[in-house]
Chain A
Amino acid sequence: MMLQVQGLRAGYGRIPILAGASFSVAQGEFVGILGHNGMGKTTLLKALMGYLPATAGSVTLEGRDITRLSPTARARLGLGYVPQGRQIFGALTVRENLRMGCLLSKRPEAETIEAVLALFPRLHRLLDRAGGALSGGEQQLLALARCLCGDPRLVLLDEPTEGIQPSINEEIVETLLALRRSRDITILLVEQKLDFIAALAQRILIIQKGAITRETTPEAVQDPALIAEFVGMAA
């Protein structure tokens, strides 16, 4: 099993958000997480990455307990994270951003970047441009590409389509599908856009009040009743 989460509790200071989340993700799986706003989707990813300390429960990555490890240590074990809001280095060029991501890659830097750019052809012509000068969609592609430069085994993606134009959304879907075909990579995706998550995820977990309450299929997100009940939006 790539990731095993058992009874995970975490929050901000004294405010608990995660109330014993439990689920697992198999190697090579693309799993989506859906839920109302404020149900703990982003908090779950932050806790998995180690930015929020777990107050209870455990997180296991490929059989190794990482519950108490720092974010840096988790990244070194193969956990990649593309946070909400892109978070690229705006003052560095696209090329420099990609080079920053190569620390954990075991391949030569140039080879790693070349392989990643093959998945993101749009970034080729932007290599010498400052990251801060890119559009929101291009920044999202860059954030994803930079994360892949570290050859992560499991990628946590937090709402990659937030505030992104539809054409880039399609490009992100195509890229992630190509990634699924070409690499031995596992993805845990938090997303609000139903068509996006349905196009990518093989399984969808519903999060309510800080716990995973239901598992469903991508086809089921076309059911308006289910979506209205568990996700709070129309399909």
Chain B
Amino acid sequence: MSLSSGTASFLAMLAIGLALLVGAPMVFDLFALLQVTVFVAMAVLALSQGFIWGYGGIMSFGQSAFFGLGGYTYAVVAMNAGDSTGAVLLAILLPTLFAALLGYFMFYGRISDAYVGVITLTVTIILFSVFNSTAGDAYTIGNAPLGGFNGMPAVPPLNIPGRPDLPLEPEQLWYASMGCLVLVYGLLRGILASRFGRVVVAIRENETRAQLLGYDTRLYKLLVFAIGGGIAGAAGCLFTNWGGFISPTVFSLATSAQVLIYVLVGGLGTLLGPILGAIAIQYLISLLGAQQVINANLVLGVILAAFVLLVPQGVVPVLRDALARLRPPSHPRAKPGNGLPDAAGVEAKP
């Protein structure tokens, strides 16, 4: 039985993901494992941006808003409930609902693409200001003080579902984080391979054409945006667990910009690209953080400018094209990219 190239590439990516899931704790020491755990959390965030921007064509500057909401929701619920099970679910559900509400006003209000970027950026800035202003006892939800600029320390870690007395060790947190990344990747591949995914890509190509065929494009964009919000919330939950801490900096402009850089560097219109972009940039940030000579944000800015000017498609599409040139010529099937998962886990050109 032969597999289609899309299925084969998906199975290959799944195998690589599972191999990393199992193999990383055997290869890395505890410090390195903690480092790659946060890389993976940011990769989940990058996937949310890559999905809504690269496939849905929605230019959101606000993924950090959903990321932060997920993190804060987890912290507040876990500190009150003592058990992380409900906290995880709410950390995904609340950003999903918030994204759905915001998306409803944007897409059903016929806001143009440029203003979607402005609105999502504004929402992020508002949340940054709001959470920065929550110092003092007045801003305590149950047992959880929000802590203003200082944030919320000592957030309870994930535990075995229903067993608050069994918190996850760092190695187990790695399994949970990497498992989440594999799950989200698989989920998005499934969505993009479905009829829903085909319509989403078609809307990205030309919303008017899709409307002509009877599709309610507003609803599809709303659903894409809400799914992206939920995934960003899950990433926020993982991030909060990694450090046991969350502060309003998750809503900062730097975080918003960082997510865009992940996707631009890795490759817009792919799922693999944002993952690789997030890991590479996070690794670079951690290297730069260990020295005092060059400012890390300055380096990120230079990287962004260099990629926009020199490699605007991102690394993964460039590699894909290079590989395609090496192969013998065949039918131009889905080249220039059908926007749906294809060979080597590499998908569309936007």
Contacts and interface: CB of A to CB of B under 8 A. Distances in A.
Contact of B206 (A87, A103, A150): A87
* Interface of B (DSSP majority class): loop
A72 B195 contact: no
Interface in B320-350: 331-340, 348-349
A22 B34 CA distance: 72
Interface stretch (A9-17, A90-98, A202-210): A90-98
A129 B332 contact: yes
B30 interface: no
B335 A100 contact: no
Contact of B333 (A81, A93, A103, A146): A93
A100 B209 CA distance: 10
A197 interface: no
B213 A101 contact: yes
29 contacts: A70-B211, A71-B211, A71-B212, A72-B211, A75-B212, A75-B214, A87-B209, A88-B209, A90-B205, A90-B336, A91-B201, A91-B205, A91-B334, A91-B337, A92-B202, A92-B339, A93-B333, A93-B338, A96-B198, A96-B338, A100-B199, A100-B202, A100-B210, A103-B213, A129-B331, A129-B332, A129-B333, A146-B213, A147-B213
B332 A130 contact: yes
| A-B pairs, 8 with minimum CB distance | A75-B214, A133-B332, A104-B214, A89-B202, A103-B214, A71-B211, A72-B211, A128-B333
A75 B211 contact: yes
A91 B338 contact: yes
A150 B213 contact: yes
Contact of B213 (A70, A93, A96, A104): A104
Given A89-B206, A91-B338, A93-B338, A100 B213 contact: yes
A107 interface: no
Nearest to B199: A100
A92 B210 CA distance: 13
